[in-house]
């Protein structure tokens, strides 16, 4: 399927978005590439590089397909792509020096692949009729699941669970945007393009403006201070304020009694 057929079918069919195989392959290949480079940075051998590359490229999709239990598993449906990814991992392992000066290119390709993964996960869940919430969740899982599995395999806390520039947030945002537009009746090709653009822009903006998720956010002190202020306010109104009202009433009664006594004395 070429791009023209993709756009035409997406506008014609409001339920299923068929992504061209070239775009699909590109997202997987970039995921595999980033996984292989990650393995080289950790000084793993050729087997480790291939395994981590495949896990990064396919991990999120495998989790999605297992949870959906529908329409097969993408990993086993394209053996030619698996072979291509293995060759790519081997190339990265033996010629990693070629990628040292391509950080900006790899970053852009990675951001684009995350957006495409989010689109693939959300669109497949939407086509299966999984509902709004699960469509958003499965899109986000597809976007970042491979990276999380990769980190776990090398004994590290997944990067998506740590303070960092937007990665999981970007995938979640793109998936959410696609789902909202799809449920509002927008053509799925428009929703898909918006999803990918949202992910890429969120990734770039988070790095440019140094937006990061917080590693801790304890609101207990703020809530405690707020409750203390509220308690003092309530106490002032209903207790001390009531005491003042009672005091004024007693003074009025005292003055009234004093006036009565003075009147009796005059008589």
Q: What is the pLDDT of residue 190?
A: 92
Can you name the residues that pair with 165 across neighbouring β-strands?
212
Question: Exposed (0-12), middle (13-18) or buried (19+): which is 59, by Cβ within 10 Å?
Answer: buried
Long-range contacts of 131-135 (CB under 8 A, 24+ apart): 132/179, 132/183, 135/175, 135/178, 135/179, 135/182
Q: With contact defined as beta carbons under 8 Å apart, do 143 and 231 qualify? A: no
- CA separation for the pair 47, 15 (Å, rounded): 41
The full 3-state SS of the chain, as one line of letters, equals CCHHHHHHHHHHCCCCCCCCHHHHHHHHHHHHHHHHHHHHHCCCCHHHHHHHHHHHHHHHHHHHHHHHCCCCCHHHHCHHHHHHHHHHHHHHHHCHHHHCCCHHHHHHHHHHHHHHHHHHHHHHHHHCCCCHHHHHHHHHHHHHHHHHHHHHHCCCCCHHHCCCECCHHHHHHHHHHHHHHHHCCCCHHHHHHHHHHHHHHHHHHHHHCCCECCCCCCCHHHHHHHHHHHHHHHHHHHHHHHHHHHHHHHHHHHHHHHHHHHHHHHC
Q: What is the pLDDT of residue 260?
A: 63
Task: Name the residue ranges covered by the structural domains of the chain.
Answer: 3-208, 219-267
| Percent with pLDDT over 70 in the chain | 81
List, for the chain, all residue ranges whose pLDDT scores fall below the cut of 70.
Answer: 1-16, 70-71, 235-253, 256-267
Q: What is the pLDDT of residue 259?
A: 63
């Amino acid at each position: 399927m070429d791009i023209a057929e993709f756009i035409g079918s997406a506008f014609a069919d409001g339920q299923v978005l068929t992504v061209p195989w070239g775009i699909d392959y590109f997202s997987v290949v970039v995921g595999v590439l980033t996984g292989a480079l990650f393995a080289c940075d950790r000084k793993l051998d050729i087997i480790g590089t291939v395994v981590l590359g495949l896990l990064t490229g396919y991990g999120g999709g495998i989790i999605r397909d297992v949870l959906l239990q529908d329409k097969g598993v993408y990993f086993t449906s394209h053996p030619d792509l698996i072979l291509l990814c293995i060759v790519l991992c081997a190339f990265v392992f033996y010629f990693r020096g070629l990628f040292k000066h391509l950080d900006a290119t790899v970053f852009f390709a990675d951001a684009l692949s995350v957006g495409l993964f989010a689109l693939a996960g959300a669109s497949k869940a939407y086509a299966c009729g999984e509902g709004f919430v699960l469509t958003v969740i499965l899109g986000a899982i597809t976007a970042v699941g491979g990276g999380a599995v990769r980190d776990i395999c090398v004994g590290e806390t997944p990067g998506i669970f740590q303070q960092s520039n937007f990665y999981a947030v970007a995938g979640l945002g793109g998936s959410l945007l696609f789902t909202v537009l799809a449920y509002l009746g927008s053509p799925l090709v428009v929703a898909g393009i918006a999803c990918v653009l949202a992910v890429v822009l969120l990734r770039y903006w988070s790095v440019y403006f140094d937006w990061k998720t917080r590693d801790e956010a304890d609101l207990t002190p703020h809530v405690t201070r707020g409750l203390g202020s509220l308690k003092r306010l309530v106490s002032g109104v209903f207790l001390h304020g009531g005491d003042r009202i009672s005091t004024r009433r007693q003074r009025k009664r005292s003055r009234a009694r004093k006036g009565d006594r003075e009147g009796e004395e005059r008589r």
